[in-house]
Amino acid sequence: MIFYIFDDNTFATRGYTWAMSLKPRPEEFSRRCPKCKAGMSVEYPKHSINLAVEGGSKYPDILGCGAETILIVSQNVINDWEGAGITGYEKYDVNIVEAKGKRIKDAEPPRYYHINVIGRAEYDMEAMGFKCQIICEYCGRIEVTNPNDKLHPLDPTIIKEGSWDGSDIFAMDITPRKTYCMEKVLFLAGINERTNFYFAPLELTGDVNFRGLDYRSMAKKMARNNEIPLQR
């Protein structure tokens, strides 16, 4: 099974606008644990959100967000996913309420959705060489320690055998906003030429090519070789 990490690619692409702020910021993001006072990153706003975008000249299919780590995709992407029966997520509406910037303010935004990833797997912490300690029993906050003194303790990502629940899109409990997917998600983005996706294979380490994989060429090659990773 081939897994990829995926995200928006706003730092390596050009011309796409991105979300600067949430209006208002959902209160789920501000909740604090009553015991340890840490932010409760496990709470996800399961409702529509409003965004202000800024800069750039066009709207991408996967919209980066500077205010919070949120996965935001266009209606086109949802159509691809629903058409192929992609599993492991819930979608909620996004309203673009403000567009700052000369070139973006008159552009018509696509319909966007923010994605709560519900598919799950677990890191193989031992194989990855880090330790994870529960700091607060009440909210489950953890601290990752790094006995090997690695620069990026979570790279390369190794999935614990038997822990993946079979979802096409998934995250790990301890890093719920870091999103992973199966090859068919990459294929759909590539073959349909969806813009601003970042994909990288799990075995890449910290100094990954920061542009990510050329998913469009990869998808075309899969199609040519009759290796389309979708169930029929």
Interface positions with Zn ion (CB under 5 A): 33, 35-36, 136, 138-139, 141
Specify the residue, 35 or 211, whose C-beta has the smaller distance to Zn ion: 35
Specify the residue, 14 or 37, whose C-beta has the smaller distance to Zn ion: 37
Q: How far is the CB of 137 from Zn ion (least distance, A)?
A: 8
Rounded Cα–Cα distance for residues 32 and 54 (Å)? 29
C-beta of residue 211 within 8 angstroms of C-beta of residue 34: no
Specify the residue, 35 or 100, whose C-beta has the smaller distance to Zn ion: 35
Q: How far is the CB of 27 from Zn ion (least distance, A)?
A: 17
Q: Quote the DSSP letter at residue 143.
A: E
Best CA proximity match to 171, nearest among 159, 179, 163: 179
Q: How far is the CB of 31 from Zn ion (least distance, A)?
A: 11
Which tokens is 211 given? Answer: 């542009």
Q: Quote the DSSP letter at residue 16.
A: B
Measured in degrees and rounded to the nearest 5, phi and psi for residue 186 equal -65, -45
Q: How far is the CB of 173 from Zn ion (least distance, A)?
A: 15
Specify the residue, 139 or 181, whose C-beta has the smaller distance to Zn ion: 139
Q: How far is the CB of 171 from Zn ion (least distance, A)?
A: 20
Within 8 A by CB and 6+ apart from 1, the residues are 164, 182
Q: How far is the CB of 222 from Zn ion (least distance, A)?
A: 45
Which tokens is 94 given? Answer: 């996004």
Specify the residue, 23 or 35, whose C-beta has the smaller distance to Zn ion: 35
Rounded Cα–Cα distance for residues 161 and 84 (Å)? 26
In which element (H, E) is residue 8 found?
A: strand 3-8
Specify the residue, 136 or 158, whose C-beta has the smaller distance to Zn ion: 136
Pairing of strands 169-172, 120-121: parallel
